[in-house]
Amino acid sequence: MIRMMQDGRLRQKDSHLERTAENRMILFSGRGYPELADCIAERLDLSLGEVEITKFSNGEMYARYEESVRGADVFIIQSLGEPVNDNLMELLVMIDAAKRASAASIVAVIPWYAYSRQDRKSKPREPVTARLVANMIQVAGAARVMTMDLHVGQIEGFFSFPVDHLTAMHTFVDHFVGRGFRDAEDAVVVAPDTGEVKVARRLAGHLGLPLAIVNKIRRHPGQSEVTHVIGDLEGRRAIMIDDIIDTGGTTVRAAESLLEEGATEVYAAATHAVFSGTAYERIEESPIKEVVVTDTLPLKRDEPQSKIHVLTIAPILANTIRNVFSDDSVSEVFMGENQLF
């Protein structure tokens, strides 16, 4: 564009504006597990962003960011624990608010991905709710999902954008190495069902231990029956590794079967401590020596926890968030072993 100056000379006006602002990362937390979000933010040397989250009198969810997110890379940390449906809807509303506020990208950090056990139809006229939740997150406006130890790897395929499927495997390995299990002649790793064989084999490989398998029949959701144990348990300490402990019934029955087969002690490990119903009391009264879980979900403070040992996954999530923001490799966080399936 040409314009006339006061002295009669012509001057060319700039035809463009240069964007000089650097990329910004902002972390926000829903109300699903703010303590974990605080730990992640602390490890990243950041403060959590301010967001107003309330409910209308009829239960409808409302969220409003109290600072600008325009052009920022927004990470929303929300674990889908109890109340599951409230926390899920809260996440969707926060994603939509960030999208409408012109965030450059939105990453949903979901340590516990609820509905992951409904990943296929096992009976006629059933839903595939894990896919439904993936669709809702995608439609809301997320561009990426970060989660821990999905129930089955196929859930990654329910999304058409990147999914960072993280694992707590090395956290468990470090714990049991500290307990003296590495290359121990009197120890064994046990898969509590055939679906966990690959994960149990990976843990057994890291610890240098043999593998055993518990065979069970699942008659109804949350109810199963142990039929037999494959492998040598006589005189050995056993580690059962699973992704979820829900009511604790299956875990306790499997532990009792291992002791009947000659195991001297039974340890249980699981990434997600759902612990619904009477799980806390059941674990407390069981013959299990120790239940090792991560903090993808908060424990209930008023329940017995003397046998429960919690390992934090905040460093894993913080390092992964940092690498995603800086476009570095996520696999480097896990030394190339972030895929278990």
Which stretches does DSSP call E strand in 206-260? 211-220, 223-230, 237-245
Give the pLDDT score at 242: 95
Per-residue pLDDT of 1-14, as tens digits, reads 555 555 555 555 56
Per-residue pLDDT of 118-151, as tens digits, reads 999 988 999 999 999 999 999 999 999 999 999 9
Mean pLDDT for the chain overall: 91
The structural domains of the chain, with segments of one domain joined by +, span: 25-166+315-334, 169-312
Q: Annotated catalytic residue: which of 216, 289, 300, 307?
A: 216
Residue 8 half-sphere exposure toward CB, CA atoms < 13 A: 0
CATH class of the domain comprising 169-312: alpha beta
Q: How confident is the model at residue 22 (pLDDT cuts 50, 70, 90)?
A: confident
Beta bridge partners of 294: 311
Per-residue pLDDT of 204-224, as tens digits, reads 999 999 999 987 666 555 556
More confident residue, 338 or 97: 97
Give the pLDDT score at 122: 86
Round to whole Å and give the CA distance between 313 and 321: 12
Q: What is this structure's pTM?
A: 0.90
List % helix, strand, coil for the chain (3-state, nearest 5).
30, 25, 45
Round to whole Å and give the CA distance between 188 and 21: 55
CATH class of the domain comprising 25-166+315-334: alpha beta
Q: How confident is the model at residue 188 (pLDDT cuts 50, 70, 90)?
A: very high
Q: For residue 216, indicate whether it is catalytic.
A: yes
Domain 25-166+315-334 identical in fold to domain 169-312: yes
Q: What percent of the chain has pLDDT over 70?
A: 88
